[in-house]
Structure 1
Amino acid sequence: MKYLGLLVIWAFSINIHAAEKEIESLYRSNNINGSILIESADGKIKFQYNVDDEESFVPASTFKIPNTLIILEEGLIKDSSEVIAWDGVEREYAPWNKDQTLKTAFQYSCVWCYQRYAKKVGNIKYQEYLRDFNYGNQLTGSEITRFWLDGDLRVSVKDQISFLRKLYVESLPIEKQHIKTLKSIMLSESNSQIKVWSKTGWSGKDGWYVGYLVVNEQTWFFANHIEINQSSDLVLRKKLTMDTFKVLKIVQQ
């Protein structure tokens, strides 16, 4: 029985290695430099490509996940439908040029919306939350409205999944109702086969797609970081993630 157990472990490790080689081919065929980490809910199964424990990046709009919780917990907005009045400033991205709600601000990655609330939260509070969340390197910087875009805050793919796990089980030091509100606006796909809670991010060369999905009653966490060299690369944040799930046969082709 001992040898049978070792044989099963060996075969499983071979399968993981083969799958990770296929993932590598996905990134190479798309001329993308990036890294991805996928973990089962129980943490027993992990798939990764090009993950460097020492490498971290600005979280960009993926910071809207913890930032939404902070804004709600601070009582700066009461729920996902409260109106955030447009300031009348025309911006390049048309969906931002109108009133928003927390739900649309999250889904459209409305930078000005979150910057408005960042000024109200302030640096001291942000540092407390980052420490309580154990989020990334827990640094902000000199500009409170941009620290997640081009300031000092850095996260790794492992940091992203670590935070998502705490969000999923609702173990963060945040009122449960606020966590449920965030989850409701994070739900990006839902049908009879799959449900996905996710957020994209982009700042400079840093592109992200992070979240978790449920398929066949199994939950999987994911964090994909890619280097953005041209605007056409942006679609690959999500596409490479979902193609990886298909390679792993977690999601159907």
Structure 2
Amino acid sequence: MKYLSLVVSLGLVMQQSVQAEEVSPCIEGDACTLALYSETAGQWQFINPERAKQAFAPYSTFKIANTLILLESGQVNTTARYQIDLNRYPAQDWWFKTWREPDQNLKSAFNYSVLPLYRQWSADLGRAAYEQFIQQFSYGNQDVSGPVDGFWLGDSLQISAVQQVEFLRKYQHQQLGLKASTYRDFSPIFLQRQDEQARLFAKTGGGMLAKGQARGWYVGMVENQQGMHYFAFNMDADSFKSLAETRIKKALASLQSLKVTVPE
């Protein structure tokens, strides 16, 4: 299995991994894109629109769809505590400290991209369920032919920034064919920050490319006084460290450059 790159293919370095310095927004011609749909205005906006149509591996942004699938199927719930099965997924030197906690809840597993748990849950649920749900969601290229515990990490599943936004719109309007309780239970897991002006629901994702560079995502929704804004940002970087340090700030700076108010 191609899991050497898993260290860097997770959403890894979680939502808190951004340094304090200012980061410039994505601009035309850079190796990045932002696809934005503002619902009240009924308006799409793009930075580097051609790249916004290109499909890439979703990496850990797939945890949005995957967590919905796992909740809907009863594989997980919001009250249980979970442990990694170390017989199936032995601890590795590169595992993060947050992964080594003796148990996790669903919120921590989502926020910290605890890959061994998601691999475990996905393998237990099985390929047939993913084939059904991914088709039901019309998620990306709908190809789950890669390893059942890692097809979203570059093996087969691909999605564009535009398709990420379309999926999020279906999620928000409860058009994915799921129980009302699934949407309700996932919402606080998805929420990352809020203030008096706005709420941000989002997930990181990222992985290494064959040429040694890194590609990362930040996708989600901003709810503010102007309504709901759905976004998908991706970028390339010369290392995963550089990517992890900048992707969230660059995504949020890009949203602000298009006049979307984001929470502090």
Structure 2 partner of 1:222:
231
Structure 1 partner of 2:115:
111
Counterpart residue type for residue 33 of structure 2: S
Structure 2 partner of 1:248:
258
**How far apart, CA to CA, are the structure 1 residues paired with 2:172 and 2:242?**
31
Q: Name structure 1 gaps, 5 residues minimum.
A: 1-24
Structure 1 partner of 2:139:
135
Alpha carbons 2:190, 2:201 under 8 Å: kept:
yes
Alpha-carbon distance, 1:229 to partner: 2.0
Counterpart check, 1:149 vs 2:153: yes
Alignment coverage as a number of residue pairs: 227
Following TM superposition, where does structure 1 have runs of at least 4 consecutive aligned residues deviating by more than 4 angstroms?
Answer: none
Counterpart check, 1:90 vs 2:91: yes
Alpha carbons 2:85, 2:120 under 8 Å: kept:
no
Structure 1 partner of 2:244:
234
Q: Deviations over 1:46-97 (max 9, x none)?
A: 22111226510000000000101111111112x2231111335434211001
Q: Deviations over 1:208-247 (max 9, x none)?
A: 0000011115111110011132112223221112112222
Q: Name structure 2 gaps, 5 residues minimum.
A: 1-23, 209-213
**How far apart, CA to CA, are the structure 2 residues paired with 1:130 and 1:43?**
29
Q: Deviations over 1:180-230 (max 9, x none)?
A: 111110100011111001000012122000000111151111100111321
Q: Report matched runs for 1:156-171 at 5 Å.
A: 156-171=160-175
Q: Deviations over 1:125-170 (max 9, x none)?
A: 1111111000000001241111000211000001100000011111
Distance change (3 Å), C-alpha of 1:46 and 1:240? same
**How far apart, CA to CA, are the structure 1 residues paired with 2:64 and 2:144?**
16
**How far apart, CA to CA, are the structure 1 residues paired with 2:41 and 2:123?**
37
Structure 2 partner of 1:6:
none
Q: Which has the larger radius of gyration?
A: 1
Give the fraction of aligned pairs with identical amino acids, expressed as a percent: 28
**How far apart, CA to CA, are the structure 2 residues paired with 1:165 and 1:182?**
15
Counterpart residue type for residue 90 of structure 1: A
Distance change (3 Å), C-alpha of 1:85 and 1:187? same
**How far apart, CA to CA, are the structure 1 residues paired with 2:187 and 2:226?**
18
Counterpart residue type for residue 55 of structure 1: Q
SS for the counterpart of 1:192 is coil
Identify which of structures 1 and 2 has the higher relative contact order when contacts are C-alpha pairs closer than 8 Å and 6+ apart: 2
**How far apart, CA to CA, are the structure 1 residues paired with 2:205 and 2:37?**
20
- Which TM-score applies when normalising by structure 2? 0.80
- Which TM-score applies when normalising by structure 1? 0.83
Counterpart residue type for residue 48 of structure 2: N
RMSD: 2.1
Alpha carbons 1:202, 1:208 under 8 Å: kept:
yes
Q: Report matched runs for 1:1-253 at 5 Å.
A: 26-27=25-26, 33-42=31-40, 44-52=42-50, 54-77=53-76, 79-88=77-86, 89-91=90-92, 92=94, 93-98=96-101, 99-204=103-208, 205-230=214-239, 231-251=241-261
